[in-house]
Amino acid sequence: MTPEDPNRVLLFDTTLRDGEQSPGISLNTAEKLEIAQQLTRLGVDIIEAGFPIASPGDFDAVRTIAREVEGPVICGLARANASDIDRAWEAIRDSERPRIHTFLSTSDIHIEHQLQSTREDVKGLARASVAQAKALCDDVEYSPMDATRSDIEFTAEVVQIALDEGATTINIADTVGYATPDEYAAFLTRLYALVPDLHGVVLSTHCHDDLGLAVANSIAGVQAGARQIECAVNGIGERAGNAALEELIMLLHTRRAHLGYTTGAVTTEIARTSRLVSRLTGYAVQPNKAIVGRNAFAHESGIHQDGVLKERSTYEIMDARSVGLDANSLVLGKHSGRAALRQALEDLGYTIDGAQLKQAFERFKEVADRKKQVTALDLEALVTDELRADVQGYSLEWFEVEASNRRPPHATVAVRTPQDTVLEGSFTGDGPVDAIFRAINSATGIDARLREFRVDAVTGGQDALGEVSVVVELGAPEEAVKSDTPGVLTGARVTGAGQAVATDIIEAAAIAYVRALGNAVNKARAVLSEAELAQTP
């Protein structure tokens, strides 16, 4: 996929692959599909939908996205081995525009300590993996992992091998966020000199933010000749994350006259995309985050306020509306009907009908009875919350909490299990939320420990919807799922994240905790299944 315009930069979004590797994130297929569809509305060129061999759930999500999302290239990641590549192709083959992305480290530190291999073996694996991928799929991307800490002459050898076998995109990964912009640009410039064939394919950047330079390094790479940028919404990803998609889009858009590059992004979809990913992953956007933080266009200083009131360009280089940060307008009231709700959702990019519309309307009425105004932000939060509710797992039936400053709070809950049985439990805690969490543990018989708990308001005001994010940690997986295979992965710990939205914070907290528990148990089952397969002769 080579851009016709030499100044056109392709946006390769890895939110659903590298982004989902962030600790505590656990997206189901419906959530991943919703994010992929929003990325399509945003105008990204390539969606790296996941790592198909990682788990059956990841495979199903990638295959669903490949079958249902039209427009962008749908990419699956694979290590440089036959089973990974076959699995990736099986997942993406139904896409109208499939891509296999395979990778292998070229740095000596990785070759020696992680791969426990040699440079010659790496060259052989690179040749075999790209050849296999090319036999299955015309569009093949190859990444020398940890390239910026590699010997450049050796990396050039491996890149040439990948090109000889038919790779159409070469991605240079600053895997640990080590490079500086001048070093990264110099690396790419030298690589072009060592491998002239690179001029006939797309060169890509993949920069991590360990030193806070992911966006700067990516732009330096573009200025050195790269025409694809790998990035993630809100910059999520391994460790300190990836280059932030929204920052790159607006940097290229706002400074186009200086930089001279374009993208196919629809900038007014940026804020909505950021909010969706934040809600579904449970990763909050910090207030001062560039482009999408709630303070990104706020002015506290009197001098700044005075200047903006007279002329916005005195202190604003972008218009908040250009990134879609005007969605807090009134949409519906408590007397609005089903047709009005459907139209409002369609205006937000959600097309639902039948049973889904009925369910959404019931949820809307429930919220509208408690709130005076229902905004676009409220509707977005409710729609994403319904995606979480579709998951097969634990669900909250009801709860009761007795709270007082004269005696410890006491909670009683009923939880429905994946086997459709209802379990009840009671417990006393330090506060009403702690009591309810302990009661849920008592009901399910699972000793989950709270790792993270956060409450945010979707909008302002006393009647705002509360959004709660929870991360729980389980002990050994076999304890969590009551496995009959004692000794497997003893001591290993599994985390799960859950989010929920409600006008009652305690209710939202209880639902989020139950969802987190279900996600952690599902993850524990997957860990055990993989371990059992590995022990099979």
Lowest mean pLDDT of 94-98, 258-262, 354-358, 484-488, name the range.
484-488
Which range among 86-95, 187-196, 204-213, 331-340 shows the weakest confidence by mean pLDDT? 331-340
DSSP-H helix ranges across 69-151? 82-92, 108-113, 119-136
Tally Cβ neighbours within 10 Å of residue 384. 22
Q: Which has the minimum average pLDDT: 125-139, 147-161, 417-431?
A: 417-431
Q: CA–CA separation, 15 vs 35, rounded Å?
A: 9
416 within domain boundaries: yes
Same domain, 204 and 81: yes
Of 225 and 361, more confident: 225
Position 27 confidence tier, pLDDT thresholds 50, 70, 90: confident
> Do 343 and 447 belong together in one domain?
no
Question: What residues form DSSP beta bridges with 470?
Answer: 453, 498
Q: What is the pLDDT of residue 162?
A: 98
* Residues ≥6 apart with Cβ < 8 Å to 60: 29
Which residue in this structure is represented by tokens 């050849």?
131
Closest to 31 measured CA to CA, from 385, 522, 417: 385
Task: Give the DSSP letter of residue 404.
Answer: -
Does 143 share its domain with 108? yes
pLDDT band for position 96 (50/70/90)? Answer: very high
User: Which one of 388, 403, 434 terminates a domain?
Assistant: 388
Question: 207 falls in which pLDDT band (50, 70, 90)?
Answer: very high
Q: How far is CA 139 from CA 89, 158, 160, in A?
A: 11, 18, 17
Same domain, 101 and 209: yes
More confident residue, 54 or 157: 157
- Residue 488 is predicted with a pLDDT of 35
Interval 432-452: pLDDT, tens: 999 999 999 999 999 899 998
pLDDT at 536: 41
**Whether residue 369 sits in one domain with residue 239:** no
Q: Is residue 334 part of a domain?
A: yes
Q: Are 446 and 474 in contact (CB under 8 A)?
A: yes
Per-residue exposure over 391-423, b if at least 16 CB sit within 10 Å of its own CB, e if not: bebbbbeebebeeeeeeebbbbbbbeeeeeeeb
* 157 and 227 belong to one structural domain: yes
Mean pLDDT of 31-37: 94
Structural domain includes residue 446: yes
406, 408, 414, 417 alpha-carbon torsion, rounded to 10°: 160
Burial class (CB in 10 A: 0-12, 13-18, 19+), 277: buried
Q: How far apart are the first and last CA of the chain?
A: 43
pLDDT of 335 = 75
- Select the more confidently predicted residue: 205 or 343: 205
Evaluate whether 155 touches 193 at the Cβ level (below 8 Å): no
Query: What is the DSSP track for 128-182?
Result: HHHHHHHHH-S-EEEEEETGGGS-HHHHHHHHHHHHHTT-SEEEEEETTS---HH
273 falls in which pLDDT band (50, 70, 90)? very high
pLDDT confidence of residue 529: 60
pLDDT, averaged across the chain: 87
* Residue owning tokens 């790792």: 451
Confidence category of residue 42, pLDDT binned at 50, 70, 90: very high
Phi, psi angles (nearest 5°) of residue 463: -95, 20
Same domain, 153 and 55: yes
Q: Is the pLDDT of residue 86 over 70?
A: yes
Strand order in the sheet with 395-402: 395-402, 410-416, 422-428
pLDDT score of 380: 76
- Residue 47 inside a domain? The answer is yes
Q: Which domain holds residue 371?
A: 330-388
Domain boundary among 364, 388, 412: 388
Q: Label residue 302 by pLDDT band (50, 70, 90).
A: low
Where does 215-308 show beta strands of DSSP type E?
A: 228-231
Split at pLDDT 50, 70, 90, the class of 228 is very high
* CA pair distance 449, 320, nearest whole angstrom: 40
pLDDT band at 535 (very low <50, low <70, confident <90, very high): very low
Q: Is the pLDDT of residue 486 over 80?
A: no
Task: Identify the band that residue 526 occupies on the pLDDT scale cut at 50, 70 and 90.
Answer: confident
11 and 46 Cβ atoms separated by less than 8 Å: yes
Per-residue DSSP letters for 190-213?
HHHHH-GGGGGSEEEEEEB-TTS-
Angle between helices 56-68 and 29-42 (to 10 degrees): 40
Helix and strand element counts for the chain (H, E): 18, 16
Tokens for 91, please give them: 């997942």
The CATH number assigned to the domain holding 528 equals 3.30.160.270
What value does the mean pLDDT take over residues 191-218? Answer: 98
DSSP letters, 15-50, are TTTTGGGSTT----HHHHHHHHHHHHHHT-SEEEEE
- Of 341, 373, 388, which marks where a domain is finished? 388
When pLDDT is cut at 50, 70 and 90, the band that residue 142 belongs to is: very high
Per-residue pLDDT at 484 exceeds 90: no
Same-domain pairing of 35 and 67: yes
Confidence tier at 280 by pLDDT (50, 70, 90): confident
| 509 vs 532 pLDDT, higher one | 509
- My answer on whether 375 and 425 are in the same domain is no
Q: Is the same domain home to 459 and 344?
A: no
Rounded CA-CA distance 48/100 in Å is 9
Q: For position 301, what pLDDT does the model report?
A: 55
Residue 125 has pLDDT above 90, yes or no: yes
Q: Is the pLDDT of residue 120 over 80?
A: yes
* Count of residues in the chain: 537
Q: Which neighbouring-strand residues pair with 428?
A: 410
171 forms beta bridges with 204
Burial (CB count <10 Å: 0-12, 13-18, 19+), residue 225: middle
% of the chain surpassing 70 pLDDT: 88
Choose between 174 and 523: higher pLDDT. 174
Note the pTM of the prediction, 2 decimals.
0.81
Number of separate domains in the chain: 3
Average pLDDT over residues 82-102: 97
Query: What are phi and psi for residue 534, nearest 5 degrees?
Result: -65, -30
Q: Is the pLDDT of residue 46 over 60?
A: yes
Distance between CA atoms of residues 143 and 155, nearest Å:
10
401 and 380 inside one domain = no
> Residue 108 domain-assigned?
yes
Q: Which range (123-132, 273-282, 523-532) has the least confidence?
A: 523-532
Percent of the chain with pLDDT over 90: 57
Amino acid at 424: E
Residue 1 is assigned to a structural domain of this protein: no
Averaged over 78-88, what is the pLDDT? Answer: 96
- Among the listed ranges 296-310, 319-333, 361-375, which one has the minimum average pLDDT value? 296-310
Residue 299 lies in a domain: no
Closest CA to 515 of 354, 421, 391: 391
Say which CATH number the domain at 251 has.
3.20.20.70
Residue 305: HSE in the Cβ half-sphere, 13 Å Cα cutoff: 5
pLDDT at 326 over 70: no
Is 498 a member of any domain? yes
382 and 509 fall within a common domain? no
pLDDT at 476 over 60: no
